[in-house]
Amino acid sequence: MTFWKNRANLILLAVLLLSLALCVGFWFWDISWLLFLPALPAFCLQLLLCRMDRRKLLRAVPLLLAAAMAVLGFYYAQQPGFGESLFGVILLLGAISPAAGAVLAWAVWGFCRFYRRDGNSG
């Protein structure tokens, strides 16, 4: 079954796009929402990547992006200036939510794959 013919994939894609638009909207309204709101798009993106069986290395992309953001935040947090340090702390805090969403998606995908009755992977 192709990606576009699967109804669950289309629902995940719609939720991903809507939650990304919501994140952008909250960016202009109240930036404190961005500390936990990006978990939903990261969850949907990770679950979509896990459901695609062709490219298994693609499944690590959201976690690698969150890890890169955390490393960059840690680097900037060690800088002597106040602005750079504050930027680093914000990056570190902002990396937690997408990483948590991606890890939760891995857990859901693994649980559903393990307990699937018909034996099909995906």
Task: Identify which of 79, 97, 108 has the alpha carbon closest to the alpha carbon of residue 32.
Answer: 97
Q: Give residue 34's pLDDT.
A: 66
Query: Is the pTM higher than 0.85?
Result: no
pLDDT band at 117 (very low <50, low <70, confident <90, very high): low
Dist. CA 32–CA 29, nearest whole Å: 9
pLDDT band at 2 (very low <50, low <70, confident <90, very high): low
CA neighbours closer than 13 Å in the CB half-sphere of residue 17 = 5
Name the average pLDDT for the chain: 82
Dist. CA 50–CA 7, nearest whole Å: 15
Dist. CA 15–CA 86, nearest whole Å: 32
Percent of the chain with pLDDT over 70: 85
Phi-psi domain of 77 (left: phi exceeds 0; alpha: psi -120 through 50; beta: other): alpha
Give the Å distances, CA to CA, from 5 to 12, 75, 95: 13, 44, 33
pLDDT band at 68 (very low <50, low <70, confident <90, very high): very high
Q: Give residue 89's pLDDT.
A: 86
DSSP symbols for 48-69: HHHH--S-GGGGGHHHHHHHHH
